[in-house]
Amino acid sequence: MNMIDTQVIDRGLFPGSDFETTRWDRFVLRHTKPLNLWIHVVSMVMYFVGPLIALLTWNPWWLLAPVLSGSVGAFGHWLSGDGGVSLKEATVEVTVPFYVPLVFWKILKGSYFTEDIPKARAKTRYTKPNCS
């Protein structure tokens, strides 16, 4: 895992161990289905390109694109059934604008489906309480 992946740590059941579940791990587990990822491509373009188009055209309506991009991402979760996400998380979570491009970079590198998803799934096996 890269340094950027582990900079923001949200303490799990095993703080400081290899089984600590980070925000990145939880984000990865909610972004595993291709349909959801493609809808997030649209959301990411809205978030980053909308303000640029607003500046280039001097049309303030384009500033709605980044505001609505979180709702588009939440729609992707609903449509694909790829993990739960609240509308609040989709619109005000500060890590999401950094994590979404990181996901696509890792997909292009070939490590997202082969390293990140299996590693996050392995961690959750150790953090779930045994109820049997």
Sequence ranges of the domains in the chain: 21-120
d(CA 126, CA 96): 25
The answer to whether the predicted template modeling score (pTM) of the entire model surpasses 0.85 is no
Q: Tell me which amino acid residue 27 is.
A: F
- What whole-number percentage of the chain has pLDDT above 70? 76
pLDDT at 4: 38
Looking at every residue in the chain, the average pLDDT score rounds to 81
- pLDDT tens digits, 49-105: 999 999 999 999 999 999 999 889 989 999 998 877 766 676 677 888 889 899 999
Task: Specify the residue for token string 């809205």.
Answer: 46
User: pLDDT confidence of 106, banded at 50, 70, 90?
Assistant: very high
Helix locations, 1-132, DSSP H: 3-6, 23-29, 34-57, 64-80, 87-92, 96-109, 117-127
Q: Show the tokens assigned to 12.
A: 């799990």
SS3 85: coil
User: pLDDT confidence of 19, banded at 50, 70, 90?
Assistant: low
